[in-house]
Structure 1
Amino acid sequence: MNSLDFFNARLEATISPMDFVKSAKLHPEKYFLVDVRNGPSEFKKVTIKDAQMIPEQDLPNRLNDIPKDKEIIVYCWDVWCNTAAKAAKFLLENGYQVKELTGGIAAWREMNFPVSACTEGATDKDHCGC
């Protein structure tokens, strides 16, 4: 793979927080945003506004909760976490159209975009799984 192929593939597989906000305002019905973070609930006090909480480790049992007619946007903790990449790969293998939100919730919060208090907490047995 050459550099051009790499960057084309990267742009096809990801969306920045700024681009997502812009596109979701124009086409809110197009997207299904999923917080795939694993980990203890005390670390997941906020989520991106309107995101569905489906931890990556629960995806195999929750596919019926994810619509196939929307573009799925997944995110995890930050740029160092690969949980969203694992989730995206799994969803792609199962026939979904998926992109990873670059920078995760850390980038989202850094840009002061809207967040909500988490409504679906994980249990203490959960782990990051990065």
Structure 2
Amino acid sequence: MNALDYFNARLEGTISPMDYQRSKEMDPEKYFLVDVRNGPNHVKNVIIKDAYVIPEQELKNRLSEIPKDKEIIVYCWDVWCNTAAKVAKFLLERDYKVKELTGGISAWKEMNFPVSESIQKDSPIDHCGC
């Protein structure tokens, strides 16, 4: 793969927080944003505003909650976490249209974009699975 092919593929599979915000403002119904982070809720107490919380380790059992008629945007912790990439691959293999939010929740919070408190009940999953 040459550099141009690499960067085209990377841009096809990801969306930056700024691009997501801008695109969501223009077409609010286009996306379905999913927080796929694993781990205990006390470390996941903040989520991106309007995100659905479906941890990667629960995904197979909750797949019916994810619509096929929207572009799915998945995110995890930060650039060092590959959980969102694992979820994106899983969903792409099942014919969903998916992109990974670059930088995860860390980049989102760094940009001071809207967040809300997580209202998820405690999860038995206590490790991130990255």
Q: Report the CA distance between 1:122 and its aligned residue.
A: 4.2
Aligned to 1:16: 16
Contact 1:72–1:99, Cα closer than 8 Å, also in 2: yes
The answer to whether structure 1 residue 127 and structure 2 residue 130 are counterparts is: no
Describe the superposition over 1:30-71 as per-residue Cα deviations: whole angstroms up to 9, x where unpaired. Answer: 000000000111100100000000001111111110000000
The one-letter code matched in structure 2 to 1:59 is: L
**Secondary structure of the residue that 2:81 maps to in structure 1?**
coil
The one-letter code matched in structure 2 to 1:120 is: Q
Aligned to 1:60: 60
Describe the superposition over 1:51-101 as per-residue Cα deviations: whole angstroms up to 9, x where unpaired. Answer: 000001111111110000000000000000000000000000111000000
Counterpart CA distance in 1 for 2:16 and 2:117 is 22
Please say which of residues 8-17 and 55-64 is displaced more in the overlay.
55-64
The one-letter code matched in structure 1 to 2:2 is: N
Structure 2, gaps ≥5 residues long: none
Q: RMSD of the TM alignment (CA)? A: 0.8
TM-score, length of structure 1 as denominator length: 0.97
Aligned to 1:39: 39
Counterpart CA distance in 2 for 1:35 and 1:122 is 15
Structure 1, gaps ≥5 residues long: none
Where has structure 1 moved over 6 Å in runs of 4 or more? Answer: none
Aligned to 1:113: 113
Please say which of residues 119-128 and 69-78 is displaced more in the overlay.
119-128
TM-score, length of structure 2 as denominator length: 0.97
Counterpart CA distance in 2 for 1:106 and 1:121 is 22
Q: Percent identity?
A: 72
Contact 1:38–1:122, Cα closer than 8 Å, also in 2: no
Aligned to 2:79: 79
The one-letter code matched in structure 2 to 1:98 is: V
The one-letter code matched in structure 2 to 1:50 is: D
Tell me the matched-pair count: 130
The answer to whether structure 1 residue 88 and structure 2 residue 88 are counterparts is: yes
